[in-house]
Each structure stands twice: as structure tokens, then as C-alpha cells.
Structure 1
Amino acid sequence: MIRNKKQDYVLAYKQPASTTYMGWEEEALPIGNGSLGAKVFGLIGAERIQFNEKSLWSGGPLPDSSDYQGGNLQDQYVF
């Protein structure tokens, strides 16, 4: 079977994403590069795009800390 390489990474839906907050994670199309990202909802007549940038969640671009466990102290120690 010969596959068209252009079709390998295509995400397509037959209808726009939900306008409610239920199921948006599965219905919106993800775009981004690892630092800046968005979810495109594809609404008809009014596009909805949810943006995200990595420094919004980390408090700023900081060096990685290998001892940070996100508050999960039990995972910090190996027994």
C-alpha cells in the first residue's frame, strides 16, 4: 500500500468544536512549537483561539530545577 506523505499528519473534523467547556480538549485543533501554543476551535462566523505561552505557568523563563517535584514530596525520594 502506497501512502501519500502529505496525508500523514492531517487533523480534520466534520464540524466545529463545542462552544461549551465540555470536551474542548478533544475537539479543538492544537498548534504550536512547545513554547507558544494554541487550540483552534473553528467556529463558524466567529473564530475562537485559546493561546498559551510557557512563561504564563512557570512565572517566567527560569533555568530547570532538577529537584523541583511540583509539591509531590513522596516522589522526590527513592527508597
Structure 2
Amino acid sequence: MSDLPAVAADHLPGSKSPLLKTISWVSAGVGALAIGVVVGRELRIRYKFNRRTPYDFYAHSGDEQDFDFGLGI
């Protein structure tokens, strides 16, 4: 029965190996980076959408009719 505290101490959360700690910190960092990229992209898209100019609205109007230009006719 004297080994019971030692066995219990092996299963406590503070006794992780350094490799597991490193892997968990790296995965948490990659997860935070991914969330930051997604949130940043969404904010950028919303910012650009709210700052459109009239040129942006009509930049490609009539594209189907523009085939005559640049053909050497």
C-alpha cells in the first residue's frame, strides 16, 4: 500500500512529458493562428465591401459586348 501515492502521482495532470507539453502548445498556437486568419479575412472582406466606389459597381458592366476591341478589325 505504500506505492499507492506514487502511482496516483503518475496520473496527475502536472506530470506530462515535455514532448506532450510541446505538442499541445504548438497545436494551441496553430489553432489560434488559424482563428486569427479567418477572423482577419472576414473583417477585411467586410471593410472592402463597405468602402466600394462607383467604379467597383460598374467595372465589368457590359463584358459580353467587349469582344470587338483588340481584334484588329
Bigger Cα Rg: 2
Output the TM-score relative to the length of structure 1.
Answer: 0.21
Specify which structure has the higher proportion of strand: 1
Q: Kindly indicate whether structure 1 or structure 2 has the higher relative contact order, using CA contacts under 8 Å at least 6 residues apart.
A: 1
Output the TM-score relative to the length of structure 2.
Answer: 0.21
Specify which structure has the higher proportion of helix: 2
